[in-house]
């Protein structure tokens, strides 16, 4: 854990009635720094916020956005809930899966992409939608999704 995170956690303590409140913020910081949350990192957080490691692990395993295993550099998450499904989510998913030659829940062998299906992203009015890392891509068609994934490919060369 970088000294930067340690400082940030200390700083955040003044904003909450108890350091226990910092479980989620700490896990987020770790995930941004390491790409995922390791047991070692949980031990480190535990000492900083005076919360047993098991309690933090319980939390980390509850929330779907926390990755307990490394994921690809681009985590592509396609929304599968009703509004996206009604507006053509399946075709988008099919196209992206074919392009990357992986199935849902898999990571490409070069570690670049992970493909996931997720529940409602709260973007129903611009369905179908996919989230790549922190950014939403909305009003998708298979063609548009292909262009977006293509642009990632170029970006990463």
User: Which tokens belong to 56?
Assistant: 């933090």
- Asked if 90 touches other proteins (CB under 8 A), the answer is no
User: Which tokens belong to 28?
Assistant: 């987020």
Nearer to other proteins, 108 or 117 (CB): 117
Residue 98-117 contact track with other proteins, rule CB under 8 A, x = bound: --------------------
Q: Residue 138 Cβ, how far from other proteins at the closest point, in Å?
A: 10
Window 19 to 78, contacts with other proteins (CB under 8 A): 20-25, 27-28, 49, 51, 55, 58-59, 62-66
Residue 114: exposure state from Cβ atoms within 10 A (0-12, 13-18, ≥19): buried
Q: What is the DSSP string of 47-100?
A: HHHT--HHHHHHHHHHSTT--SS---SEEEEEE-SHHHHHTTHHHHHHHHHHHH
Pick from 16, 39, 69, 147: which binds other proteins (CB under 8 A)?
16
| CA geometry: angle 125, 71, 106, nearest 5 deg | 80
Nearer to other proteins, 28 or 36 (CB): 28
Element (H, E) at 32: helix 23-34
Pick from 2, 4, 10, 18: which binds other proteins (CB under 8 A)?
18
Instruction: List residues near other proteins by CB under 8 A.
Output: 15-18, 20-25, 27-28, 49, 51, 55, 58-59, 62-66, 80-83, 85-87, 118-127, 131, 134-136
């Amino acid at each position: 854990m970088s000294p930067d995170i340690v400082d940030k956690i200390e700083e955040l303590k003044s904003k909450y009635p108890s350091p226990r409140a910092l479980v989620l913020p700490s896990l987020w910081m770790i995930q941004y720094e390491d790409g995922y949350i390791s047991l070692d990192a949980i031990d480190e957080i535990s000492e900083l916020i005076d919360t047993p490691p098991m309690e933090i692990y319980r939390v980390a395993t509850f929330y779907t956005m926390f990755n307990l295993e490394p994921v690809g550099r681009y985590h592509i998450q396609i929304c599968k809930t009703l509004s996206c499904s009604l507006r053509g989510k399946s075709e988008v998913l099919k196209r992206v899966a074919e392009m990357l030659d992986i199935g849902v829940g898999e990571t490409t062998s070069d570690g670049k992409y992970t493909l996931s299906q997720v529940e409602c992203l709260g973007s129903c009015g611009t369905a179908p939608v996919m989230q790549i890392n922190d950014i939403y891509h909305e009003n998708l068609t298979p063609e548009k999704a292909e262009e977006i994934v293509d642009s990632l490919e170029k970006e990463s060369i």
